């Protein structure tokens, strides 16, 4: 299995997001445990014009990571209890990221991060093996016919951006 190169992520978010489906999210813990799960659900957040994107309010200490070159993790806390795992995409200076919403057998971004012991210590780290969290491609091809596009979840406040079909679900 090949670890995805940083160049994979340095493309537009709406190209990267659906291509993450079927890839393996890999978590390696200090004790030696390694978990591999196929990615089944993602959401794209596309730049400062996207009212559902954290960067729509400008560059802040929290969102600065989104302006980095693609291939780094953006991990933040919601409701004071759930960590959300995102991978930054695109070129330096353009804030975009993909939220990993689900993997095989784990539905929901909060459940995912809890199960894989993902927290803010991974924020701003590259998605590489050395950092304990990365994505691999084992050659599995996901047919476009098996992917459903829907509006994103929980972003009604984003007006017309809430209806954009930026959620991608692999119908396994």
Q: How many CB atoms lie within 10 A of CB 131?
A: 14
Query: 3 is written with which tokens?
Result: 């670890």
Which pLDDT score, from 0 to 100, does residue 1 have? 79
Which pLDDT score, from 0 to 100, does residue 69 have? 97
Which pLDDT score, from 0 to 100, does residue 34 have? 96
What are the sequence ranges of the domains in the chain?
Answer: 2-170
Topology of domain 2-170 in CATH is 3-methyladenine DNA Glycosylase; Chain A (3.10.300)
Which pLDDT score, from 0 to 100, does residue 79 have? 84
Per-residue tens of pLDDT for the chain, all 172 residues: 799 999 999 999 999 999 999 999 999 998 899 999 999 999 999 999 999 999 999 899 999 999 999 999 999 998 888 999 999 999 999 999 999 999 999 999 999 999 999 999 999 999 999 999 999 999 999 999 999 999 999 898 999 999 999 999 998 7
Please name the residues in contact with 28: beta carbons below 8 A apart, sequence gap of 6 or more: 34, 129, 132, 133
């Amino acid at each position: 299995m090949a670890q995805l190169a940083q160049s994979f992520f340095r493309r537009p978010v709406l190209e990267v997001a659906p291509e993450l489906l079927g890839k393996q999210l890999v978590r390696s813990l200090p004790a030696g445990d390694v978990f591999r799960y196929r990615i089944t659900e993602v959401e794209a957040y596309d730049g400062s014009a996207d009212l559902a994107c954290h960067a729509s309010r400008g560059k802040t200490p929290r969102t600065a990571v989104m302006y980095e070159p693609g291939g780094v993790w953006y991990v933040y806390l919601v409701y004071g209890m759930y960590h959300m795992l995102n991978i930054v995409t695109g070129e330096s200076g353009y804030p975009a990221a993909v939220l990993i919403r689900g993997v095989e057998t784990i539905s929901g971004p909060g459940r995912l991060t809890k199960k894989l012991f993902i927290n803010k210590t991974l924020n701003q780290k590259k998605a590489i093996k050395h950092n304990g969290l990365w994505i691999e491609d084992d050659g599995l091809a996901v047919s476009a016919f098996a992917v459903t596009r829907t509006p994103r979840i929980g972003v009604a406040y984003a007006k017309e951006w809430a209806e954009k079909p930026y959620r991608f679900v692999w119908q396994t």
